[in-house]
């Protein structure tokens, strides 16, 4: 019950619940949200590499990482994304992949067209703002 | 008196005073500063849409938003900006639009050439730095 | 001894020690880390100008500034960088210039090929994340 209301506050859909619960148990020392708002596969790869490098540097258990794709960056998280293979690796490494539903509405993209296993928020930009107010670091690769 | 000194500390010109005073009464839950430093109308539109989406998502009264244009991004806030129509809408929605006077000096742009109703700071980058130290979230669209 | 362990925590190499010690004595009011992750000399110049403008605006003694170059931005800090002249000026002005060793490994770039006097961290992105958790503002020009 309580978990659901907290997730509601964060604007996270039900899909994100199990991953978040698991991450919360770990009580990571660092928390960082990476923003992807460019339609540029090179930058998507940079964001995914940033996540990998942070985990390698401080230890995967010591850091909670989310990558939020919105605006022109949404395409990164589509099922037919050119970086789809790396998305699988990121999910396996417990990196949160989060798509913006406002952008999806604007671009008429449905969840069926998105990569499986990702999470959703109503507005990517609001989620990033909230994360910072909660103390998360912010990286815009 | 006190208001002026606080505004002085923030590096804000007199033009910004009434808007800020009004926003302060609202005691918003969230505060976010958006940076525009690219000469790219698509990104200017993204920044303006980001502001709109945040207001729609958390309620316009719950968030104080500033868009700071500096460096190559200054052109966004000129009177002849291709997004001038959307600037009017942003000001109507109490989104602060702030131009960097250092950039204006470098580019030899006068206030007469800027969009009416915007505010000014000496250095856009310093203003963004200060906002973060005051607890504002930072988004670089 | 203690200094070394603190620097170790920050992931800074020995080259960064004297500069940091000097900056710490000044107890600056502001601290800001600038990220360079684009292979774009215009943006490198913007980052260097941002640093200059902040120092001019609040006083060089009142602000501690670091520019972290990683990913495609690493080239900014190479010895043959097109902005090498401005790097000298930044170091003279006590702006920290920091390169990412992960990126250097990926690009097979050795320290000999980097601009003299800069500092190194294992992962640029981790350093930026840590700085934010320490209360530094973050600017991505």
Q: Do residues C57 and B79 lie in contact, with contact meaning Cβ atoms separated by under 8 Å?
A: no
- Indicate if the pLDDT at residue B4 is higher than 70: no
* pLDDT tens digits along B60-107: 999 999 999 999 999 999 999 999 999 999 999 999 999 999 999 999
Is there a contact between C129 and A42 if contact means CB atoms under 8 Å apart? no
Share of chain C above pLDDT 70, in %: 82
Asked if A126 and B46 come within 8 Å (Cβ–Cβ), the reply is no
Lowest-pLDDT range, A12-26, A55-69, C23-37, C100-114?
A: A12-26
Per-position DSSP letters for C5-54, written without gaps between them: HHHHHHTB-GGGHHHHHHHHHH--SEEEEEEE-SS-HHHHHHHHHHHHHH
Q: What is the pLDDT of residues B14-32, one digit of tens each?
A: 445 555 555 555 579 999 9
C137 contact residues in B (CB cutoff 8 A): 128-130, 132-133, 138
Choice between A63 and B13, residue whose per-residue pLDDT is larger: A63
Q: What is the DSSP letter of B115?
A: P
Q: How far is CA B87 from the centre of its chain?
A: 10
Of A11, A72, A132, the CB nearest to B138: A132
Global confidence as pTM: 0.84
Q: C37-74: per-residue pLDDT in tens?
A: 999 999 999 999 999 999 999 999 999 999 999 999 99
Neighbours of A3 (CB within 10 A): 11
CB of C54 less than 8 A from some CB of B:
yes
What residue in A sits closest to C140 (Cα-Cα)? Answer: A140
């Amino acid at each position: 019950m309580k978990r659901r209301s907290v997730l509601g506050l964060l604007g996270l859909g039900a899909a994100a619940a199990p991953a978040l619960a698991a991450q919360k148990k770990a009580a990571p020392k660092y928390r960082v949200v990476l923003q992807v708002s460019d339609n540029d596969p090179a930058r998507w790869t940079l964001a995914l590499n940033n996540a990998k490098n942070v985990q390698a540097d401080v230890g995967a258990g010591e850091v909670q990482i989310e990558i939020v794709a919105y605006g022109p960056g949404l395409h990164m998280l589509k099922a037919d994304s050119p970086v789809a293979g790396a998305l699988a690796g990121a999910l396996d490494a417990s990196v949160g992949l989060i798509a913006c539903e406002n952008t999806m509405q604007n671009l008429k993209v449905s969840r069926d067209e998105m990569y499986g296993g990702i999470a959703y928020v109503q507005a990517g930009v609001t989620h990033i703002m909230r994360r910072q107010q909660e103390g998360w670091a912010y990286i815009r690769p």
